[in-house]
Amino acid sequence: MNFIPRGMATGIGSLPFKDTETALKLIKENMPQAPHWPQLPQLGSDEGFVHQFLDPLVRMGLLEKRGDRVVFPVDAPDWPDRLTEFYTVFMDAESGDPEALATFAFPAASATGFYAFLENLRQNGTGPARYLKGHMTGPLTVGFQLKDERGRLAYYQDQQRDLLVKTLAMHASWQISELGKFGLPVIIFMDEPAVRVYGSSSYITVTREMVLADLNTIFAAIHTAGGIAGVHSCDAIDWSVLYESDLEIVNLDIYQYGESLLPYVKEMKPYLERGGVMAWGIVPTFDKAFEEDAESLLQRLEELWAELSKRGVDREMMLRQSLITPACGTGLLEPALAKRIYRLTREVSEKVKALCP
């Protein structure tokens, strides 16, 4: 890996605004080197994960709304034909057919912030940006929210899980192809809090091999498209799974779950040594942000870094291979709080940059 961000700031994705101008201005002011497109859930249900990331499955009849549920209609008489259509388009897209790849695009009505971000870049250029950041949902997170018509969780059904993984992989490729037109490297964060199910007694049939295979399939698509892969998880999980996977960036809520890294120091060290980046989500995404300042948040980071250093993790390596982010997305917060969080992220980033070797 040769991604060395040295304390650069970026965001997770969502913001609580209904107008793109306010969102883009906040991002540009506080994350100028690695701006991200704004996901805007306040605009309504069309901005949800099904419409944004799984639209090809809806259009090909592989996902249907039945009552108040969205399900895989595997009982449909022409289900095999629908599958054939999907896999034909997928293979064309994977082989580089731009028209097939466009099948996996965001619908215009479901990603207002993405298309506004592109238009802003076209009109104003990339400015001080060194990277452009996109984001997407993860296969476990959607696989444990969607079911088939009999109520079975999609992630436990091999065929449905495969459809989700392949759809998300090609969506990531398409997103990179669009952002990459501006001549900068593209970072894609996968929002995957459901990694926490691995190791839970309630999900004993979810194996490490399943999780790694699914994540790595999407990371491979990101890398093939020329992107940098990261995962955001706002929970305490078994971090060794991510350290072992084929990604460049691990992002977590350091403010609440920083100590969850300590049991996995043995796995963190080789991850960093091969060039892995830690994206420290140190700015809390709740009202505590009004009680903190950049200095108090840096002190929290310093305490965690000191503990990791005691256990053999090289401090200079951590500093060089660090991003600074909010702890989570801000899409459901009050606008004033989101603005405070973004400003604090920039201020902490500036302090970390000053420490970097």
Dist CA 316 CA 305 (whole Å): 10
Residue-wise pLDDT for 16-42, tens only, equals 999 999 999 999 999 999 999 999 999
pLDDT band at 201 (very low <50, low <70, confident <90, very high): low
In a domain, 284, yes or no: no
**What single-letter amino acid sits at 17?**
F
Q: How confident is the model at residue 308 (pLDDT cuts 50, 70, 90)?
A: very high
pLDDT of residue 193: 86
Rounded distance between C-alpha atoms, residue 53 and residue 231, angstroms? 16
pLDDT band at 1 (very low <50, low <70, confident <90, very high): low
Average pLDDT over residues 75-87: 96
Per-residue pLDDT tens digits for 231-263: 999 888 899 999 999 999 999 999 999 999 999
Residue 49 has pLDDT above 80, yes or no: no
Residue 344 lies in a domain: no
Looking at the domain assignment, is residue 304 inside a domain? no
Residue 296 has a pLDDT of 98
How far apart (Å, rounded) are the C-alpha atoms in residues 146 and 160? 9
Q: How many domains are contained in the chain?
A: 1
Contact 332, 41 (CB under 8 A): yes
Q: Is the pLDDT of residue 143 over 90?
A: yes
Strands 147-148 and 132-137, by their bridges, are: unpaired
| Rounded percentage of the chain residues whose pLDDT exceeds 70 | 99
- Closest alpha carbon to 300 in 259, 250, 241, 269: 259
Cα end-to-end span (Å), the chain: 18
In a domain, 356, yes or no: no
> Strands of 186-191's sheet, edge to edge?
8-9, 322-326, 277-283, 249-253, 228-233, 186-191, 132-137
pLDDT recorded at residue 203: 73
pTM: 0.96
Side-chain-side CA neighbours of 7 within 13 Å: the count stands at 17
Is residue 298 a part of any domain in this protein?
no
Average pLDDT over residues 120-132: 97
3-state class (DSSP) for residue 339: helix
Q: Measured in whole angstroms, how far is the alpha carbon of residue 333 from the centre of its chain? A: 19
* pLDDT band (50, 70, 90) for residue 196: confident
Give the Cα separation of 299 and 295 in Å (integer): 6
Domain assignment of residue 160, yes or no: yes
**14 within 8 A of 330, measured Cβ to Cβ:** yes
Burial label, 6 (beta-carbon count in 10 A; 0-12, 13-18, 19+): middle
Q: What is the mean pLDDT of residues 337-353?
A: 98
Average pLDDT of the chain is 95
Residue range(s) defining the domain that contains residue 193: 8-270
Render pLDDT for 97-118 as a digit per residue (tens, 0 to 9). Answer: 999 999 999 998 899 999 999 9
Instruction: Could you list the beta-strand ranges (E) of 23-141.
Output: 64-66, 69-72, 132-137
Query: Nearest to residue 63, comparing CAs of 46, 45, 50, 78?
Result: 50
Q: Which of 36, 248, 223, 249 is nearest to 134 (CA)?
A: 36
